[in-house]
Each structure stands twice: as C-alpha cells, then as structure tokens.
Amino acid sequence: MAHWLMKSEPDVFSIDDLKRKKREAWDGVRNYQARNYLRAMAVGDEALFYHSSCAVPAVVGIARISRAAFADPTQFDPASEYHDAGSKPADPRWSAVEVAFVRKFKSPLTLERLKSMPELTGLPLVQRGTRLSVMPVDELQWRAIVEAGS
DNA sequence: GCCAACGTTGGC
DNA sequence: GCCAACGTTGGC
C-alpha cells in the first residue's frame, strides 16, 4: 500500500471539513506531476493531510483514498475556476480521486518540525522551491511523521 | 503583502 | 526548439 501527502488550503478545505463530510472529491489539481500521482493512487492508500498557505503550515491528519482516479468534473464546467476549455470529454486531461477521513493528529506537525526531521530530507515538501501539491511518501517517512503526530 | 522558485505560454 | 514574459504557489 502506497502512501501520499496532499496539500490543501484550510481556508478552502480543512481536515475538519473532511471530518465533518466524511468523504470528499479531491479535484482541481492542475499540475501534470501531481495529476500523475493522483492516477497512481489505489483505493486503501493512505495520505497525510497537509495545511498550506496558512499561519502554521502543518500535517494535520490522515485520509484514505476511497475512490481511484476518475475524470475531474470541474474541468468541463465553464462556471468552475478549474474549467479547462482545452480538455476533451473523450480524453480528459485532469483527474481527481475521492478521499475519506481517517483521523486527526493530536497536534499539528508543523513544517518547521518536519524540516528538522532527518528522515524527511528527500521529501519534496521540505525542499526549497518545491510547490508540488501531491507527492509520494515512503515507508520510513510515513512512520516518522505518523509517530511524531500521534 | 512580498518575493523566490517554478511551470506554462507563445512569439520567433 | 528556444527563451522571455507571465502567472501561480506558498513560505515568510
């Protein structure tokens, strides 16, 4: 079972929103590398839920992939901010997955702390200049983060 | 709000 | 195919 990290701006969609709604489509990804990772996800994979663009950027909990990649409907919706006129329904350019709430960390594992963990040096999240919003997390990294957050 | 870093676009 | 210009991300 693979592990992932997914960024969300808490003002838009937070871990508490996911807890309340139980499940949510993870749509609006418009970066090819991140899209390719969405397509590589399998049902049952777990993902770290990360809050970005906020006062204290941090991993705040865990979600589980509850539906594998499907065509992101927002790309075909002219009213959506994620609309992509260049994407054809016969050959959709962008994918989404559905995630389910698993649990919230006891306390947020802040970016500052993540940067101090030697296990995470290879993780794009803590590398300067990286903006990738969906990324794989290896076993060692996963264990280190979950242990520190639990 | 600033700005560094990066991805995308489009002229040539 | 190159590369300058532009837009976006996201920490600070």
* Among the listed residues A59, A60, A63, the one whose alpha carbon sits nearest the alpha carbon of residue A25: A63
pLDDT at A128: 87
Task: Pick the closest to residue A111 from A47, A60, A37, A46 (CA basis).
Answer: A60
A57 contacts A110 by C-beta, under 8 angstroms: yes
Alpha helices in chain A (DSSP H): 15-21, 32-40, 111-116, 139-149
Question: Could you tell me the residue range of the domain that residue A22 belongs to?
Answer: 3-149
Buried b (16+ CB within 10 A) or exposed e, A15-39: beebeeeeebebbbbbeeebbebbe
**C8 nearest neighbour residue (CA to C1'):** A131
pLDDT digits (tens, 9 = 90+) for A60-79: 999 999 999 999 999 999 98
Q: Is the pLDDT of residue A31 over 90?
A: yes
Residue with minimal CA–C1' distance to B4 is A129
pLDDT of residue A67: 98
What mean pLDDT value characterizes chain A? 95
Q: Is the pLDDT of residue A35 over 90?
A: yes
CATH number at A143 reads: 3.10.590.10
pLDDT at A119 over 90: yes
Whole-number Å distance between alpha carbons of A53 and A76 = 27
Backbone angles phi, psi at A73, to 5 degrees: -60, -25
What order do you get walking across the sheet with A95-110 strand by strand?
Answer: A23-26, A95-110, A58-71, A46-51, A3-8, A134-137
Q: How far is the CA of A109 from the C1' of B11 (A)?
A: 46
- Residue A63's pLDDT is 98
For B8, nearest residue by CA–C1' is A31
- CA pair distance A29, A37, nearest whole angstrom: 11
Of A51, A61, A47, whose CA–CA distance to A3 is shortest? A47
Q: How many domains does chain A have?
A: 1
Predicted pLDDT at A129: 87
